[in-house]
């Protein structure tokens, strides 16, 4: 049985009611639990929790749990965009195939140049990102990029189109450690509204991606919802249920959660379900309280001021100095010039350099970690594609 089957039987109406109507007594019970349930998590998403003094206690508990489990260390990683040539028509994405943007897919030589830049700037953890286009971004191409990255980076992960078990096996042989796949929204009735055409319109295929990746040998499985597409409390409940399922059924892998909020991008899409900064903080804290041992990632979608406040609340991994367009790290130094740059997926909100973010974390007493482990400890044979 896959998570799709379990999703159908989730008591979402009851849980959503708690998230909307829990009283202070329910919030107190949730905060008193050593091992909170999904119903306790729902109570921590309620107005009673987020609009009163309980939020401060949630923040303190989230901070304490993270220090206990992970210490005062935050890992740095860099996203490297390989392509923005997409066959999907996702309403909220700057790479939507109908948007008139400057498209580009990097050659292996250009990928190598981007990797050299990031390596020279201290990064040892790399997230390779690509839009969905089988002709431009084949499994063979991704395997080549993984092999190239594994020569210099201690960790190589992917955020690309969902694939088969065999394709994930190939990526693992090439040096990949994990995948991230955002379901965007778990509300199946809303999903077609935002994904009207293209391979990404297949809700079930995307939902079961982490399970296929695990069967293919991936050691890290990343989840997330795109905050702004749907009622955030309901989507957060589905996300938490998915993480619980993977912790039980894919127990050999490390589970991670990310928190992307919609940002300005090419196109005219306007989000209908924005959540406030206070609600965003509450969601972060509630997920950390529910999941003491999952990794939690904070991207440059948030402003410097917001990120500075969020760092101590449960995050174990952050990006910095990010570009969300193919070739973004080196295009200004190329002969093509700045005007030839590919279009970004979304506007970055925190434009500080990695060094500036690292320096700020040190003022909080945190240790910025650029490297987790030796790549040679994880992979013993080198594949060829």
pLDDT in tens, 320-348: 999 989 999 997 544 444 445 688 777 88
Distances (CA, A) of 313 to 67, 286, 356: 10, 10, 20
Q: What is the pLDDT of residue 333?
A: 42
Q: What is the pLDDT of residue 373?
A: 52
The residue range of the domain holding 253 is: 71-373
**Nearest partner of 300 among 275, 319, 281, judged by Cα:** 319
Q: What is the pLDDT of residue 381?
A: 46
Q: What is the mean pLDDT of residues 153-162?
A: 97
| Residue 342 domain flag | yes
What number of helices (H) and strands (E) belong to the chain? 16, 9
| Residue 66 domain flag | no
Domain of 103, CATH number, reads: 3.20.20.70
**Nearest partner of 286 among 46, 52, 69, judged by Cα:** 46
Whether 156 shows a pLDDT value over 90: the answer reads yes
Q: What is the pLDDT of residue 348?
A: 87
**Nearest partner of 43 among 56, 53, 28, judged by Cα:** 28
> For the chain, what percent of residues have pLDDT higher than 70?
92
Which residue, chain included where needed, has tokens 């950390």? 288
**Separation of alpha carbons 305 and 307, rounded Å:** 6
Higher pLDDT, 382 or 261: 261
| Residue 262 domain flag | yes
Q: What is the pLDDT of residue 147?
A: 98
| Residue 12 domain flag | no
| Residue 8 domain flag | no
pTM above 0.75, yes or no: yes
pLDDT digits (tens, 9 = 90+) for 60-94: 999 999 999 999 999 999 999 999 999 999 999 98
Helix axes 232-249, 277-290, angle to 10 degrees: 20
Q: What is the pLDDT of residue 262?
A: 86
Average per-residue pLDDT for the chain:
92
Q: Count the domains in the chain.
A: 1
| Residue 9 domain flag | no
Q: What is the pLDDT of residue 374?
A: 46
Q: What is the pLDDT of residue 378?
A: 47
């Amino acid at each position: 049985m896959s998570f799709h089957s379990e999703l159908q039987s989730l008591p979402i109406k009851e849980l959503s009611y708690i998230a909307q109507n829990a009283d202070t007594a329910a919030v107190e019970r949730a905060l008193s639990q050593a091992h909170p349930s999904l119903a306790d998590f729902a109570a921590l998403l309620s107005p009673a929790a987020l609009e009163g003094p309980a939020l401060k206690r949630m923040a303190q508990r989230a901070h304490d749990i993270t220090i206990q489990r992970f210490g005062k260390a935050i890992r740095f990683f860099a996203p490297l965009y390989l392509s923005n040539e997409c066959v999907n028509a996702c309403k909220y994405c700057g790479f939507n195939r109908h948007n008139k943007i400057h498209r580009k897919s990097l050659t292996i030589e250009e990928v190598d140049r981007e990797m050299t830049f990031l390596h020279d700037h201290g990064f040892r953890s790399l997230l390779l990102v690509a839009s969905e286009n089988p002709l431009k971004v084949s499994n063979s191409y991704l395997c080549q990029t993984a092999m190239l990255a594994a020569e210099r980076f201690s960790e190589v992960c992917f955020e690309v189109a969902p694939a088969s078990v065999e394709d994930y096996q190939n990526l693992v042989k090439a040096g990949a450690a994990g995948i991230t796949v955002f379901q965007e929204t778990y509300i199946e009735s809303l999903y077609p509204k935002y994904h009207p055409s293209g391979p990404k319109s297949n809700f079930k295929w995307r939902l079961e991606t982490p399970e296929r990746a695990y069967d293919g040998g991936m050691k890290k499985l990343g989840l997330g919802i795109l905050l702004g597409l749907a009622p955030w409390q309901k989507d957060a409940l589905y996300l938490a249920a998915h993480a619980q399922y993977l912790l039980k059924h894919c127990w050999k892998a490390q589970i991670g959660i990310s928190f992307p909020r919609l940002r300005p991008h090419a196109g005219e899409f306007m989000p209908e379900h924005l959540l406030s900064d206070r609600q965003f903080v509450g969601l972060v804290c509630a997920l950390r309280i529910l999941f003491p041992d999952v990794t939690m990632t904070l991207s440059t979608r948030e402003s410097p001021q917001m990120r500075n406040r969020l760092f101590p609340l449960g995050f174990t991994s952050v990006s910095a100095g990010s570009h969300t367009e193919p070739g973004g790290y080196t295009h200004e130094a190329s002969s093509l010039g700045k005007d030839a740059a590919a279009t970004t997926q979304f506007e970055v909100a925190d434009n500080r350099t990695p060094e500036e973010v690292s320096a700020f974390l040190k003022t909080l007493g945190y240790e910025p970690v650029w490297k987790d482990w030796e790549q040679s400890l994880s992979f013993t044979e080198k594949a060829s594609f």
